[in-house]
Structure 1
Amino acid sequence: MTETLPACFEHVRLPGATDDVELAVAVGGTGTPVVLLHGFPQTHLMWRHVAERLAADHTVICPDLRGYGASDKPAATDPDVYAKRTMAADVVRVAAALGHERFALIGHDRGALVAFRAGLDHPETVTHLGILDVVPTLDMWNVLHGVQAAVAYHLYLMAQPPGVPEALIAGSADTFFGSFLDAWSVGPSTLPDAVRAEYLRASAAAVESIVADYRASATIDVTHDQADLDAGSQLAMPVTVMQQDWGAQLGYDAAAVWRAWAPDLDHRLTRAGHFMAEAAPDEVTGVIRELLKR
């Protein structure tokens, strides 16, 4: 690898929600803790620029989510294994093991769904919540309609019963995962060749667990979100959501979607594309710092 997190970051392995699953975690800096969760099809490496900036005055914790990167990839023997509730519990336990009972939490894409669930399940633990380019799982399924849903075909593919999705993706892993890395980047400089190659390597080695993570979002995660919606649950902490500026083609009011969950909401738009933390790290870091002041 030619690009990594700064040398000040230590790489450790810590138990997740249960002792039989360990997460690979990069930790660096000093100060109040900020946990950064990566998206698909990435690893904690996506935070390399933002983490360096935040580590100047924060303890920055960057885990690989269960099923991704160098973290354990348990078999999906029941729906709870890759439920965002379980993955959120992973994060809370990792932070506690590092001595942090309360922390700010920033998530991108899949990591943002984990962060959202952590905010609902652990309001006493998550002090500030940052969401990069996603809407909650329940809302995601509700806003996808007709031909618009074609851009999210992978959601439907990986929602299918075990067997076919795994076989199809494993048979052309570089093509499948690479298509998202290319389509979601604003330009070739967003993902240097070495970083792109690392994402492809890590994803090809995690096909079954990545599919299980997505399948959970079509099953148990929907159940959990619906239960919270029915109960009137909301995010109690300050929330900042940063999303691509799709304009009218988005087809729905993303800010309104988030406001229903987050009364204390700051909704931002960016032209940095989906991989905004890598394309515009100064912009993203600035938004995170503003969130932490609230």
Structure 2
Amino acid sequence: MAQTVATFDYHRINVADDVSLNVAVTGSGAPLVLLHGFPQTHLMWRHVAADLAADHTVICPDLRGYGDSDKPVDTDGTVYSKRTMAADMVAVSEALGYERFALAGHDRGALVAFRAGLDHPDKITHLACLDVLPTLDMWDVMHGVTASVGFHLYLMAQQPGLPEQLIAASPDAFFGHFLDIWTNDPQAIPADIRASYLEACRGAVPSIVADYRASAAIDVEHDQADRAAGNQLKMPVSVLQQDWGAALGFDAAALWGSWATDLQHTTVTSGHFMAEEAPADVAAALRALLSR
């Protein structure tokens, strides 16, 4: 059993015939689902959830393939598609008694949130995405030597076998590398939380790789289909991210603006793990979104 937070109530929720998720819930009021990123679990939201729980029911699942949630084998390339994972979130919300909910995601969770907003616009009242670009745009802006910052994207995009073998040979070094280089404040992820993240990742190498592999395959196809159809996010959208555009040479706000009709785009000075480095700022941004 992975680490838990005392203020959360924990639930096991079936989202498919063979998949159940570990879901932490706290607070009361209108529902807000918070989705973690890589290489983390729901624990990344511990500070933000404590703040928002004063007036919201805060729901923090471990994504399928991560943490204490089930890790089904990816038999056909769709098991870890963001479409499948977005449907998981609708199932979680409905199981807890909510037909509509606000949704915020960080990193991988933000890609799930983005897909949920496109696939389930009748379910998502507000949408926040932290420190990502939509999958299709992400691949478009990665080029030349600057793409080396995303080496893990290319590694885990390879066919099953080699990526899993390489990562499983030294998982703490691999996953710990990102915990080290993506933060501006190492103290934001204390030793016990870091240990919990690494333990969870050790037991999830195939499913984490499958999640990333989907983003180089079926997730791109889904984004391409929506772009071709002119589909956009219709709910209020807030994006918080580091100034990737300055480093890689693109206009992040413009890229997001092509997907969202009601967008607030904010560049932050914290590192990638902003919910842990600057939880008050993230909570304030989410409150501002929910007031729109």
Q: In the alignment, which of 63, 66, 71 is matched to residue 65 of structure 1?
A: 63
Cα distance between partner residues in 2 of 1:248 and 1:145: 14
- Normalising by the residue count of structure 1, what TM-score does the alignment of the two structures yield? 0.97
Q: Could you say which residue in structure 2 is the equivalent of 1:42?
A: 40
Measured after TM superposition, the shift of residue 3 of structure 1 is: 7.7
Q: Deviations over 1:270-294 (max 9, x none)?
A: 1111000000000000000000000
Matched residue of 1:79: which SS? coil
Cα distance between partner residues in 2 of 1:33 and 1:175: 37
Whether the 8 Å contact between 1:87 and 1:114 is mirrored in structure 2 is: yes
* 2:13 paired with 1:14: yes
Q: Where does the alignment leave 5 or more consecutive residues of structure 2 unmatched?
A: none
Q: Could you say which residue in structure 1 is the equivalent of 2:90?
A: 92
Q: Could you say which residue in structure 1 is the equivalent of 2:223?
A: 225
Q: Deviations over 1:18-49 (max 9, x none)?
A: 12100000011100000000000000000000
Measured after TM superposition, the shift of residue 246 of structure 1 is: 4.4
Q: 1:227 to 1:247 in 2, by over 3 A?
A: closer
Q: Deviations over 1:146-184 (max 9, x none)?
A: 001000000000000000000000001000000000000
Q: Deviations over 1:112-155 (max 9, x none)?
A: 00000000000000000000000000110001010010000000
Matched residue of 2:194: which SS? helix
* 2:152 paired with 1:154: yes
* 2:176 paired with 1:193: no
Cα distance between partner residues in 1 of 2:162 and 2:22: 29
* 2:115 paired with 1:117: yes
Q: Percent identity?
A: 67
Cα distance between partner residues in 1 of 2:39 and 2:58: 21
Cα distance between partner residues in 2 of 1:285 and 1:248: 25
| Number of matched pairs | 292
Whether the 8 Å contact between 1:2 and 1:194 is mirrored in structure 2 is: no
Whether the 8 Å contact between 1:116 and 1:136 is mirrored in structure 2 is: yes
Q: Where does the alignment leave 5 or more consecutive residues of structure 1 unmatched?
A: none
Whether the 8 Å contact between 2:36 and 2:108 is mirrored in structure 1 is: yes
Q: Could you say which residue in structure 2 is the equivalent of 1:134?
A: 132
Aligned residue identity for 1:179: H
Q: Could you say which residue in structure 1 is the equivalent of 2:206?
A: 208
Cα distance between partner residues in 2 of 1:237 and 1:193: 38
Cα distance between partner residues in 1 of 2:56 and 2:238: 18
Q: 1:2 to 1:167 in 2, by over 3 A?
A: closer
Q: 1:157 to 1:2 in 2, by over 3 A?
A: closer
Aligned residue identity for 2:198: L
Aligned residue identity for 1:37: L
Give the 4+ runs in structure 1 shifted more than 6 A. Answer: none
Whether the 8 Å contact between 1:4 and 1:48 is mirrored in structure 2 is: no
Q: Could you say which residue in structure 2 is the equivalent of 1:269?
A: 267
Q: 1:141 to 1:184 in 2, by over 3 A?
A: same
Aligned residue identity for 1:11: Y
Whether the 8 Å contact between 1:23 and 1:63 is mirrored in structure 2 is: yes
